[in-house]
Amino acid sequence: MQGVKKSIQEEAESDIFTWDSKYEEEVMVIPYDHFHGVDSPIQAEECNHKGLKCNYFCWTCKVGGTNVEKRTDRGYIDLFTCGELWTSKRMLAEIKEQIRLSMLSGGTTKVKAKLQQELYALLDGQSLDDHINPLLGMAGLNIHQDTPTEILHTILLGVTVYILDKANFLGIFQTCLDSVETRGLGSTILGADYTSPAQVMPYLIYDLLVVLL
């Protein structure tokens, strides 16, 4: 990504002219890295986020809390509201703050010196910014907003399967799924092709959701 960022920035700073055939005039082109389409695990990585297992599990906004907080009525309701939006600037500040705090060990001076020595070795003569995700702070790109949530892993293979499993309805759901005629769906129900179950799932889990509620 460092090479991609450098290439785009160099092109943006140079003069790129072309001809607009619609308006019949010369125009200047300024390239931007504006959209990243990835699945959820890679998306979290590109946002410098640890993913769905975090207390604050969203890499788009700061929604969540501790397990104790999320188990309360208020905490559960808040999970379905948008929190304060993440920005590249804020994430960059959080990363640097965590690194700063890691150097403030409660141990002896010898321990602190050892930590500093290991950090300098990892930097290998470069600045800290050279080792941080280059997508953070890139002109024209907010990596937290410009990577749309990928529904398959986040919803269909995430919370939906989790709810059915915790309610011990996964076996019933599988039986319902096996009873569906799939020939008219145009695809299989196995492997990465999850489009067929997505089409029929609202009808298969309708009665299960009534029981859950």
Token readout for 83 is 């929190």
pLDDT at 189 over 50: no
Give strand pairing partners of 26. 19
Helix (H) or strand (E) holding 62: strand 61-62
Q: Mean per-residue pLDDT for 153-177?
A: 67
CA 103 to chain CA centroid, nearest Å: 28
The pLDDT value given to residue 27 = 92
Q: Which long-range contacts (CB under 8 A, 24 or more apart) does 4-13 make?
A: 4/33, 4/134, 5/33, 5/134, 5/135, 5/138, 8/32, 8/33, 8/138, 9/139, 12/139
| pLDDT tens profile 11-43 | 778 888 999 999 999 998 888 776 666 666 777
Asked if the model's pLDDT at residue 194 lies above 70, the reply is no
Helix (H, G, I), strand (E, B), or coil: what is residue 47? coil
pLDDT over threshold 50, residue 188: no
Asked whether the beta carbons of 86 and 61 are under 8 A apart, the reply is yes
